[in-house]
């Protein structure tokens, strides 16, 4: 460094001299729902669950816009029950920000009564309560705004 008399080691600093700060990057996206997802969210806001009738007469819940087999547009919204049965589940003990609870809970595939496909959601229950085949019911948010979080979670039905 003898040939750099003005260098004054500009880039040397003790680690604790280096700045550090939280950096928040946030995008406030707005999305149009389209008629199918719009109907689903409208129903959630009213405290109900709906599915959609596919080409072969099955009820898909949550509703999808196109038939999974034929690709044709689907339009017939039908009611499904707010109660159903856990098909599969897994336990979540490592809680992260943005998850529905601050305590351990289950993620589950739940086939609602009247639906032919399962919905994926959180179940607020103890590990001991969880089992495939257990009955659960929807718990809706108290203040609902017509969005996916209006359906807070599922809970044991008994």
What residue ranges bind other proteins (CB under 8 A)? 4, 6-13, 17-36, 38-39, 41-43, 45-48, 50, 52, 65, 69-73, 75-79, 146-148
Dist. CA 68–CA 64, nearest whole Å? 8
CA dihedral (85, 133, 92, 147) in degrees, to 10, reads: 0
CB of 95 to other proteins, least distance (A): 16
Q: Which is nearer to other proteins, 90 or 96 (CB)?
A: 96
| CA 72 to each of CA 1, 20, 83: distance values in angstroms, whole numbers, following the listed order | 72, 53, 29
CB of 49 to other proteins, least distance (A): 10
The closest alpha carbon to 125, from 138, 106, 111, belongs to 106
CB of 81 to other proteins, least distance (A): 13
| CA 2 to each of CA 5, 7, 8, 11, 141: distance values in angstroms, whole numbers, following the listed order | 6, 9, 11, 16, 69
Q: Which is nearer to other proteins, 36 or 153 (CB)?
A: 36
Cα dihedral across residues 90, 91, 95, 98: positive or negative: positive
């Amino acid at each position: 460094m003898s040939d750099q008399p003005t260098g004054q080691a500009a880039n040397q600093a003790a680690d604790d001299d280096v700045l550090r700060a939280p950096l928040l990057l946030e995008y406030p996206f707005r999305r149009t729902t389209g008629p199918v997802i719009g109907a689903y969210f409208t129903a959630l806001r009213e405290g109900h669950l709906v599915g959609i009738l596919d080409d072969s007469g099955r009820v898909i819940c949550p509703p999808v816009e196109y038939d999974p087999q034929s690709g044709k547009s689907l339009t017939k919204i039908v009611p499904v029950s707010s109660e159903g049965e856990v098909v599969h589940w897994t336990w979540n003990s490592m809680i992260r920000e943005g998850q529905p609870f601050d305590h351990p809970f289950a993620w589950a595939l739940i086939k609602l009564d009247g639906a032919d496909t399962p919905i994926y959601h959180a179940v607020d229950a103890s590990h001991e309560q969880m089992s495939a085949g257990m009955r659960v019911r929807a718990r809706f948010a108290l203040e609902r705004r017509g969005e996916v979080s209006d359906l807070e979670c599922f809970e044991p039905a008994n």
